[in-house]
Amino acid sequence: MKAGFIIAAIFLSYTSFALQIRVGRQESCTTITAAIAKANNGDTVLVEPGIYFEKNLVVNKSIVLKGLNYPVIDAEKKFENISVRANNVVIDGFKLQHTGVSSIVDFAAIKLYNCSRVTVINNIIEDAFFGIYSQYSNTCLIKHNTLHAIAATEQQSGNGIHCWKSDSMQIIANSITGHRDGIYFEFVTNSVIWRNQSSGNLRYGLHFMFSNDDAYISNIFENNGAGVAVMFSKGVKMFSNYFKENWGDAAYGILLKEINDSYIRGNHFERNTSAIYAEGANRILMQRNIFRNNGWAFKIQASCTDVVLEENNFIGNTFDVATNGSLVLNRFNNNYWDKYEGYDLNRDKTGDVPYRPVSMYSMITERNPPAIILFHSLIVSLMDRSEKIIPSLTPENLKDEHPLMKPLPL
């Protein structure tokens, strides 16, 4: 009981001395730099509307830095806007623009250096090299920010939200466009990416590298250069995301490369060149996803093992499944395929004969891509029909033993 009173007394004494310091033309502090220098841990710096040409603001105290009606901090294309070098900092309500561009220094609108429990919320970031950058940080919240870049090439653009060697990060409800990668994770663990919209980025909507035990949920990845890449990771959970309009010679909804022990459930893949491209993927459960109007719904390479594809809907795809090998060590079961022409005599809602989702022509185009120009020819249709009766090129054991007769209500 005494310990509780002591803690409460310390807290009250701490908060009772917290100050609000205002920044503006008519205030005692006319610059944000001066206000931060004056502030102590626990204080709030309130910045009034206006344009502040302050270069590389360093927040090295546990303060709240809050903008009123989105004051503008302009780095004049030379520096970072805000550098956070303390724990328990809040950056809220600013418009940050015109960071420096460099091939040596990763300039960012907001950069977190070895921080814990930092909140970056409700900011507008325009024309930044990197938008929000976290390195060696943990337990930080990046929420409700709008990031828009205008670079025309990957070399002149950084990533929207970039996390490197960080842990327990929360990336929530941000909108990112026009960057190299919308969201980039490298060596990031135990983190969540939730309800973000990443569209119109030059390369990937999301780029995941060497990052384990993370989840991305209910995001929209649309019209990016190559969709989403999840690489060299394990324990990744991918739930209820939308992958749309990712078109191009090497574009896909998701690239899975050397990923293990992960889950892909409840996602929507619509109008992508390839909805999922898997190479070196092992022990992946893909369940209750919708593949609609894609070029290839699922490209699975022979290097994949123990991938389970069940209770998914395949509707209106040019090719349902493609592979580059004859030995398949994966399992397909209880999926709905709109190209299935089987029957259900016992009325158990599953087909009485297996469905082979790999067409002969998809095997040919996988080995000789220019052959796609013959896709609508009569000979191709005849080849695919004969292959279904007497398989020769397509893998014998790549089949759905119990295809569904009607699509699942997903």
pLDDT at 90 over 60: yes
How confident is the model over 25-77, as pLDDT tens digits?
988 899 999 999 999 999 999 999 999 999 899 999 999 999 999 999 999 99
Backbone angles phi, psi at 237, to 5 degrees: -115, 125
Rg over alpha carbons for the chain, rounded to the nearest Å, is 26
Please check the confidence at residue 9 and state whether its pLDDT lies above 90.
no
Query: 142 is written with which tokens?
Result: 């990046």
Phi, psi of 15 (to 5 degrees): -70, -30
Any idea where the domains of the chain sit in the sequence? 19-344
pLDDT at 2: 47
Q: What is the percent of the chain with per-residue pLDDT over 70, rounded to a whole number?
A: 87
* CA separation for the pair 175, 148 (Å, rounded): 8
Tokens linked to 136: 């060696």
Q: Which pLDDT score is estimated for 356?
A: 87
The dotted CATH code for 19-344 is: 2.160.20.10
b/e map of 144-166 (b: 16 or more CB within 10 Å)? ebbbbbebeeeeebbbbbbbbbb
Arithmetic mean of pLDDT, 286-292: 98
Q: What pLDDT does residue 154 have?
A: 80
Least confident piece of the model among 94-103, 350-359, 363-372: 363-372
CA 34, 19, 83, 124 torsion: positive or negative? negative
- pLDDT at site 388: 58
> What's the CA gap between 317 and 314, in Å, rounded?
7
Residue bearing tokens 């977190």: 112
Those residues with Cβ within 8 angstroms of residue 4's Cβ, 6 or more apart along the chain or in another chain: none
pTM attached to this predicted model: 0.89
Check whether 392 has a pLDDT greater than 60: no
Structure tokens at 340: 């299935």
pLDDT band (50, 70, 90) for residue 102: confident
For residue 323, the model assigns a pLDDT of 87
Give residue 375's pLDDT band: very low, low, confident or very high (50, 70, 90).
low
